[in-house]
Structure 1
Amino acid sequence: MRVEIWSDIACPWCYIGKARFAKGLAGFAHRDEVEVVFRSFELDPHGAKGVTSPVEEMIARKYGRTLDEARAMEEHVAATAHAEGLEYRTAGRDHGNTFDIHRLLHLAAARGRQEELLDLTFRAHFGEERSVFDREVLAGLAVEAGLDEDEARAVLADDSAYAGQVRADEREAAELGANAVPFFVLDRRYGISGGQPAEVFTRALEQAWAGREVEEPSAGAEACEPDGACAVPQV
């Protein structure tokens, strides 16, 4: 069975949803026969490259909230992440264009190190004091993930490298009707949107494996939509 996951590094629910999916997969009897592939989806594709802003300021501006309200929203998301065993810092993070990250993830996929780089990038962005919008930081993460440093730097320096693969992923997402991430597709037959609870993923995997129609989750889960709009707790 193949599971494809469309996500963006800037999306907190992709970070949380990936952890929940991993727990759901761990509870699936045939987990060793599941291939997981990560696909590109930019939440803010029109954002200027190299330009960043503090996450809290972005949230306040986008949702018409005060900075204090934006901080409270981030605290609620952090509590959800912590409940999944994830690190999540609410202050000092920045927001920016993720195209370079997606291009580098495609290089990592070609070298068999995609999930390693994705995990490191998520952790750096949400849990550590490192900006993943800095190419020097990205080059360092690539080396940590087991990629060749010179090759990673060459990809980052060439804006066309793996650009076609990123755009192909995004076109496929649109064709499949994905309008928010994370978006999970099982064997190109069933789609699940949002960072659902782990048991939802386990049940979906079991149903798909048995050739049965995958039940729609009873309620939607938090997700992020294009142009950076993410589900945020009401505070």
Structure 2
Amino acid sequence: MSTAGKKMEVEIWSDVMCPFCYIGKRKFEAALAEFPGKDQVAITWKSFQLSPHMVTDPAKNIHQYLAEHKGISLQEAERMNDYVTDMAAQVGLSYRFDQAVVANSMKAHRFSHYAKTQGKQDEAEERLFSAYFTEGKNTDDLDTLVTLGEEIGLDGAEVRAILESDKYTEAVRTDIYEAQQVGVRGVPFFAFDRKYGVSGAQDSQVFLQTLQKSFDEWKKENVSPIEVIDGPACAPGEDCA
């Protein structure tokens, strides 16, 4: 069986509010850019909710939420986020936790699932991360998501209609269930052909090595030797006259 037209799947479980997920995205992208077989790799984003019961509160920033959630002081929360901000800067990302809006991520995940049906899922994930961590946008707000959708080429009216319904809610829940089956305990989590997993925002070389290893195995499994029935034939160097 030929691999022509086929691609090896890399599934990425993440949450919009996860700072390491955006960093991991950049590190994985750096590895993929170096990978010779990148044109035969398909990326699928999978939903995961770190705080499924979070109540969206535009009046509260992430420093305040983290302090309350972990039972620590505001200063400690700011120090923790400063550490992550420095890590993000190393891969070219500018985090603004002082502006990030506390927002439930279910609607954003549904938005991503719709974008997938339009071939725009990676663009949707990038736009959501940037909106959340850099631009201080409320990613649980309907009008905001409609605008983000239009910016990546989606039909705004369709985005609105979908998010006003419960469409793709079950798809989000299925992703979360699959995460439990795969053994995902935290995000980001990268599954390579459902055989190898990389947890966390690892160094790009870790992603590159895992890409190569899983891709080599994927190719072997998807390319079968041709069965040959021997008969009279000429071989190089033989006298066939």
Q: Of 18, 33, 46, which residue of structure 1 is paired with 2:40?
A: 33
User: Partner letter of residue 116 of structure 1?
Assistant: E
- How many angstroms apart in 1 are the aligned matches of 2:150 and 2:180? 32
Q: Distance in 1 between matches of 2:78 and 2:57?
A: 22
Structure 1 residue 168: deviation in Å? 0.9
User: Equivalent residue for 2:221?
Assistant: none
1:181 aligns with 2:187: yes
Is 1:201 aligned to residue 207 of structure 2?
Answer: yes
Instruction: Mark the runs of 5 or more structure 2 residues left unpaired by the alignment.
Output: 1-7, 219-241
Q: Following TM superposition, where does structure 1 have runs of at least 4 consecutive aligned residues deviating by more than 3 angstroms?
A: 50-53
Percent of residue pairs identical: 39
Matches within 5 A, 1:92-131: 92-131=99-138
Q: Report the alpha carbon displacement of residue 9 of structure 1 after superposing the two structures with TM.
A: 0.3
Q: What SS class does the counterpart of residue 188 from structure 1 fall into?
A: coil
Contact preservation (8 Å) 2:139, 2:145: yes
What residue in structure 2 maps to residue 7 of structure 1? 14
Distance of 1:104 and 1:25 partners within structure 2: 25
Three-state SS of the structure 2 residue aligned to 1:10 is coil
Task: Give the TM-score normalised by the residue count of structure 1.
Answer: 0.86
User: Residue 194 of structure 1 aligns to which amino acid in structure 2?
Assistant: G
Q: 1:89 to 1:51 in 2, by over 3 A?
A: closer
2: CA distance between counterparts of 1:19 and 1:164?
28
- SS of 2:12's equivalent in the other structure is strand
Look up the equivalent residue of 1:17 and give its one-letter code: G
Count of aligned pairs between the two proteins:
210
Give the alignment's Cα RMSD to 1 decimal: 1.3
Residue aligned with 2:133, SS: helix
Query: 2:217 aligns to what SS in structure 1?
Result: coil
2:230 maps to which residue?
A: none
SS at 1:37 equivalent: strand
Alignment match, 2:163: 156
Task: Quote the offset at 1:96 in angstroms.
Answer: 2.3
Which amino acid letter does the alignment assign opposite residue 65 of structure 2? Answer: M
Q: Which runs of 5+ in 1 are unaligned?
A: 213-235
1:23 and 2:30 correspond: yes
Specify the structure having the higher radius of gyration (Cα). 2
Aligned to 2:174: 168
- For the 8 Å contact 2:101–2:137, the answer to whether it is kept is no
Give the superposition deviation at 1:129.
Answer: 3.1
| Helix, strand or coil at the partner of 2:66 | helix
Distance 1:164 1:139 in 2: 21
